Amino acid sequence: MKYFYEAKDSSGKTFSGVFEAANRDEVLDAISAKGLYATALAEKEAKGVGQMEINLPFLNRISPKEVVMFSRQLAIMIDSNVSPAEALDALANQTTNKNLKERLARIASDVRGGTALSKAFSRYPEIFSNFYINMVKSAEVSGDLPKILERTADHVESEYDIRSKTMGAMIYPAVILVVFVLIFTVIMVFVIPGLVKVLESTGQELPIATRIIIGVSNFFINQWYLLLILVGGLVAFFWYYPKTKEGKDFFDSLILKIPIFKNFFRNLYLARFAENLSTLIAAGIPIADAMEVIADLIGNNVYRRIILDARNRIIKGEGVSYALLQHEKEITPLFVQMAAVGEKTGRLDSALLNIVRFYKREAEVFIGSLSSIIEPVLLICLAVMVAFLVAAVLLPIYQISTTVPQ
């Protein structure tokens, strides 16, 4: 039987083709042997119109919430003495997400065949991060899989909540900005040109505000393609450049220097760093190994370099707090002090959790006040723009009315 497959390698490059095998498992084994992981697999056979199956990736995207729910359910079932393979089969049958269903069924098959759970998860890095896989690997050694799965789920859920709150705080200001741009464009293209004809027919010299508005209106009407090119160029720049090494380095450094926002991002990265490190240490993973895992998960190249430098210092025998003290600009004194206390008491994971709670509260307070910060700024900008438009329209009308013979 022939199967059509799509797969990706560790760098994200996509491959596709047709593979002939007796069953799906043989295809998946062959794909894995090439160092790839399957993203889509289907029998290659002719189907009638009524049998066509629509499978759009964005409709079946596996969200962090689904990973959280899966982790909690798996923890409960394993804690109830259900074998991992049986638990995975049951969860695969329950989920409505086709992508997740297919992957869980494959993981269950691998585990049933003797593959370690962490290795089976590692075949799907688009779902299970290095952090997740290392946590499961430590659980396999300690034998406390349910507890560690719960803690991992808490971590994934916490990361998702912060990200959701940040995006939610930006929605309202973004909507206001889009509406304003649309209204401004309509005024420039349809309202101002008609007004210009009336004002120019008087033969009077127009105020500077009116001339500026007329110039902007003419640009919108006659050179709109330049505006389109500019917007397209900016979108392409901000979409593709951050994906390059130089671009990511630039933007990762920039967001830590932006007034108002720099402390928020610093707190966010420090909370992520502390939570990941605490969770991995509590799971029994050596600090140096934990730091290496966290460096790839932190999401910022500035902190990635700091964490890797600290890891190298720890390997040489330096303490965690001393290693972090060398980067006092990015690592706050509070973080270093709490790490030092944790090292002295032998409870570094607990000390780090205190840091997490503090910085998450700081981040949540900022997110809560973000709308109240942005809204007044937007309203002031809108008020200034409206006042300028009104002045540009009313001033020439007032001049005409005052020069009309009585």
The DSSP annotation for 321-386 comes to HHHHHTTTTTS-HHHHHHHHHHHHHT-HHHHHHHHHHHHHHHHHHHHHHHHHHHHHHHHHHHHHHH
Asked, for residue 184, whether it belongs to a domain, the answer is no
> What is the structure's pLDDT at 53?
42
**69 and 33, same domain (yes or no):** no
CA 274 to chain centre: 19
**71 and 132, same domain (yes or no):** yes
Asked, for residue 85, whether it belongs to a domain, the answer is yes
List all residues 6 or more positions away from 393 whose beta carbon is below 8 Å from its beta carbon: 195, 210, 213
Alpha-carbon gap, residue 33 to 344, rounded angstroms: 47
**78 and 30, same domain (yes or no):** no
**69 and 112, same domain (yes or no):** yes
Asked, for residue 36, whether it belongs to a domain, the answer is yes
- Residue-level pLDDT, tens digit, the chain, 406 residues: 667 777 766 666 677 777 777 677 677 777 777 777 666 666 654 444 444 444 444 445 788 888 888 989 998 998 888 888 899 988 988 888 888 888 898 899 889 888 999 899 988 888 888 888 888 888 887 778 888 888 888 888 887 888 887 787 778 778 888 888 888 888 888 888 887 777 777 777 778 888 888 888 888 888 888 988 998 999 888 889 888 989 999 999 999 998 888 888 999 899 889 988 888 888 888 999 989 888 888 889 999 999 999 999 999 999 999 999 999 889 999 999 999 999 999 899 899 989 988 988 888 888 878 767 777 888 888 888 888 888 887 877 777 666 655 5
> What is the structure's pLDDT at 57?
46
**43 and 124, same domain (yes or no):** no
Decide if 270 contacts 335 (C-beta within 8 A). Answer: yes
Q: Give me the phi and psi of 2, to 5 degrees please.
A: -95, 140
Q: Identify the CATH number of the domain in which residue 21 sits.
A: 3.10.20
> What is the structure's pLDDT at 62?
83
**69 and 121, same domain (yes or no):** yes
Q: Which of 264, 258, 324, 160 is CA-nearest to residue 152?
A: 160
**93 and 153, same domain (yes or no):** yes
Asked, for residue 9, whether it belongs to a domain, the answer is yes
**34 and 85, same domain (yes or no):** no
Asked, for residue 332, whether it belongs to a domain, the answer is no
Alpha-carbon gap, residue 79 to 316, rounded angstroms: 40
Domain region containing 23: 2-53
Other CB atoms within 10 Å distance of the CB of residue 64? 15
**152 and 86, same domain (yes or no):** yes
Express each pLDDT in 304-352 by its tens digit: 999 999 999 999 999 999 999 999 889 999 999 999 999 999 899 899 9
Domain end call among 53, 74, 96? 53
Express each pLDDT in 42-81 by its tens digit: 665 444 444 444 444 444 578 888 888 898 999 899 888 8
> What is the structure's pLDDT at 56?
46
> What is the structure's pLDDT at 313?
94
Which residue is listed with tokens 């409870």? 347
Asked, for residue 189, whether it belongs to a domain, the answer is no
Alpha-carbon gap, residue 303 to 335, rounded angstroms: 14
Asked, for residue 86, whether it belongs to a domain, the answer is yes
> What is the structure's pLDDT at 58?
45
> What is the structure's pLDDT at 37?
64
Domain end call among 109, 136, 157? 157
Domain end call among 117, 133, 157? 157
Asked, for residue 325, whether it belongs to a domain, the answer is no
Q: Identify the CATH number of the domain in which residue 118 sits.
A: 1.20.81.30
**73 and 118, same domain (yes or no):** yes
**143 and 118, same domain (yes or no):** yes
> What is the structure's pLDDT at 38?
65
Split into its structural domains, the chain has a count of 2
